[in-house]
Chain A
């Protein structure tokens, strides 16, 4: 079974709108990260939030983490066409434990 599952699987919005993606996971984690993958490109690290943090900001990105609900959300404000990509959450349990990815949310921002 998957550790991380993103919701929704696909999201289409108009440029300028906000996009919210959710991630749920099953086991206790050490860190949770969000990555972006543009079509045909590699994964780009967006933001890391530790298990003892509740919210983190980076530019137009806002990530929240609720360890009691085992969920995280990624908010992209004032979306741009260039934000069109697949977004993945990834969790780890610390130490040498591998990072586990979810299935991703495909975001389309329409100009």
Chain B
């Protein structure tokens, strides 16, 4: 069974540009999470989808970040316009159960904003 996949693996953009990250969860997993790790700091929660609905988006830094999960399958996270402090590794995870049961993580997308 395929794991969680993320695309691209690495993105380098200039400040002010737009970037869209994609996450494909494990098939059948209703829960999809986005996390971010900035500059070697802790991994921080961004938001949680249950199917296509946003269950918790309390971790989204600001309105430059937009996450979608149309149809409850894959998800996209768009950053527009990107700022220098957005650089980091963006992880996506999916789980079959809610409430912290094992989450399966993708390899992450390393975003570098110059």
Chain A residues proximal to chain B, CB less than 8 Å: 2, 4, 30-31, 33, 35, 40-45, 48, 88, 90-104
Give the tally of cross-chain contacts (CB within 8 A).
71
B74 within 8 A of A: no
- Cβ < 8 Å to A, chain B residues 15-43: 33, 35, 41-43
B93 → chain A, closest Cβ, in Å? 8
Once A2-B42, A99-B45 are accepted as A-B contacts, the answer to whether A33 and B55 lie under 8 Å apart by CB is no
B73 CB contacts on chain A under 8 angstroms: none
B100 within 8 A of A: yes
**CB-based contact A101/B43 at 8 Å:** yes
Closest to B103 in A: A99
**CB-based contact A33/B56 at 8 Å:** no
Once A2-B42, A42-B108, A98-B48 are accepted as A-B contacts, the answer to whether A31 and B91 lie under 8 Å apart by CB is no
Closest to B108 in A: A42
Task: Give me 10 A-to-B residue pairs in the complex whose CB atoms sit less than 8 angstroms apart, sorted by A's number.
Answer: A35-B105, A42-B4, A42-B105, A42-B108, A45-B105, A94-B100, A95-B99, A96-B98, A97-B99, A98-B48
